[in-house]
Structure 1
């Protein structure tokens, strides 16, 4: 299942508005087929993984899929639950329940009714690979990642506002790889006016993955290729956006944190000291230090050339 969850990352974000799902077929201890949701949402992962496999093989095989197979038919293709019933694998292992009311348990029920042994897991890796879809279904908004690139002393720019470049080339390339996995990217109005960032993906071969561009401002969009949103809460109105990447600046970052809309925090630290520079965050409105504790859990740490990278997940009950 962990391998399927890693494979599912290939679907993100091009599968939108569908979730990025992956499926593996295992026969006699070996993976013999795989699939993931294709651009635009079709074909689904299960259809890709099952295509062309012989019935006698499937009769002894296990299908691993990161999300409950869909149970609803559409003009774009059959329900995956029906495809699986027709293929008749020996067993199906599902990483996560589908909260979409069109499926929500009905996919698994259909497999069981057909006599296919089905196991539902609460698999953390599958949940992580589906974070945008699950957040959209359960909280009615995108999964939000906040990125901050700073000096060792917590500055994102010099006192005069100049900030190119705090991090090195390797760190910047890593940021572009994160942009390529987002549906939309956002900066504050002040950052746009000061830096005019392009917010595109500049990695060879991934330029087409540049996300939708947003700016947090109460006024009109500052450029024709940007969409203005008036508040952090307005991200709930972004149709089809499952993954939102917030690049700051300090006031926009603070606004999302105060609204408790940040699910993942990406910190890039360069081995430099700026001193009297611009801080990475604006006021968060904390009444006491105790409010700052037990909010974030370290999920990843790595070295990127001379820079360090840390990812933290918001601790939610």
Structure 2
């Protein structure tokens, strides 16, 4: 199963909105074939492994990180080929939360006389597809808030200079995150202050869909995001009553405007906007906004995970911005706690990851 997990990870960034899945076929104590879901629209892991077998897999064991599908989508059901190839035993990592499958795949195999064991390295297999699981059950994208700050909690100096807070190793890690997520989001403030590209600049990278929250369509026509919108998908969440001429000008440059409902404060209703993005098959978002958007997303309890890169430097300055803005909480006891905390080092920087726990 560990080999199957390693295979699945090879497709990182290429299967959305499908899960990453790996499969290993074992016969007489030998691996006789293996495969993974390589890209959206391609064969699933089980079918890839079985059609590439160099010997008869009848009587073999099949290890797969996710419950085999039993429906026809972009590809045929994996249960069909498992039964057809006369696999004797199937070992499943995690059950599929997709209601179209959700236990039905395992039951079909058992009804066909195949011995099925579930829950093999289940935690690892579920974590592999935490984005897919949340997207399927919550019907909105999994949001990973990423920011880099100094030891004194600043994301830029008081003058606004932010290149670079973190080191090169941390920045490479961020590009791997950009490859992992289908979408990347920032607010208008980040566009105006940093003029970012928000693309993936590693050798095997996949550019995410770039999403900007810009209620009144104030994004300048010469912004890097606009100038490259015909090459990299760029979507702007804007109020339905935003200026028609500005909308037409941005659309002419390749930007897609998504009319969005506003909340009581006159800003984009983030929860409803995420639901719209989910309908467009955005299953996960790397949130790289400034303090205003981070604060709004946290207040709305829409952040599922945090990647906080901390650089061993101090800039000071009461006017220097911090990662999360907004009103905040009144008491330390009200602070949002993180579960599942892990710490990784990237050269001189640290990265703290965790999952926010929201109280009612």
Specify whether residues 216 and 119 from structure 1 end up closer, same or farther in structure 2 by C-alpha distance, changes over 3 A only. same
Measure how far apart 1:54 and its partner are: 6.1
Q: Considering only CA atoms, is the larger Rg found in Structure 1 or Structure 2?
A: 2
Tell which deviates more after alignment, 158-167 or 36-45: 36-45
Q: Is the counterpart of residue 309 in structure 1 residue 351 in structure 2?
A: yes
Q: Equivalent residue for 1:291? A: 334
Identify the residue that residue 253 of structure 1 maps to in structure 2: 294
1:221 CA displacement: 7.5
Q: Is the contact between residue 141 and residue 284 of structure 2 (CA under 8 Å) also seen in structure 1?
A: yes
Q: What TM-score do you get using the length of structure 2 for normalisation?
A: 0.81
Aligned to 2:46: 46
1: CA distance, partners of 2:329 / 2:44: 45
Aligned to 2:242: none
Counterpart check, 1:232 vs 2:283? no
Alignment of 1:144-223 (within 5 A): 144-206=143-205, 209-220=206-217, 222=219
Asked if the contact 1:217/1:231 (under 8 Å) is kept, the reply is no
**Could you give the per-residue CA deviations for residues 168-216 of structure 1, whole angstroms, max 9, x where no partner exists?**
111111111111111010111101111110001111342xx01100112
Gap runs ≥5 in structure 2:
220-224, 238-267
1:243 to 284, 288, 291: 284
Query: 1:278 is matched with which residue?
Result: 321
Distance 2:32 2:110 in 1: 24
How big is each residue's C-alpha offset from its partner over 1:120-152, in whole Å with a ceiling of 9 and x where there is no partner? Answer: 217111111111111111111111111010000
Q: State the match for 2:5 in structure 1.
A: 5
> Cα–Cα, structure 1 residues 316 and 5, in superposed 2: closer, same or farther, change >3 Å?
farther
Structure 1 residues 235 and 89: alpha-carbon distance in aligned structure 2, compared to 1, 3 A threshold: same
2:304 pairs with 260, 263, 269, which one? 263
Q: 2:89 and 2:327 mapped to 1: Cα distance?
A: 50
Q: Secondary structure at the match of 2:66?
A: coil
Instruction: Note closer, same or farther for the CA distance 1:284–1:136 as it changes in structure 2 (3 Å cut).
Output: farther
Are 1:116 and 2:114 counterparts?
A: yes
Mapped partners of 1:309, 1:30: distance in 2: 39
- Deviations along 1:270-312, one digit per CA (max 9) or x if unpaired, are 111011121121135324222226443313x222122112211
- Residue 95 of structure 1 aligns to a residue in which SS? strand
Q: What TM-score results when the alignment is normalised by the length of structure 1?
A: 0.91
Whether 2:33 is the aligned partner of 1:33: answer yes
- Partner Cα separation in structure 2 for residue 265 and residue 93 of structure 1: 32
C-alpha displacement of 1:217: 2.2
Tell me the secondary structure at the aligned position of residue 308 of structure 1: strand
In structure 1, list runs of 5 or more residues that go unmatched: none
Query: Counterparts of 2:57 and 2:81 in 1: how far apart (Å)?
Result: 16
Is residue 21 of structure 1 aligned with residue 29 of structure 2? no
Secondary structure of the corresponding residue to residue 126 of structure 1: helix
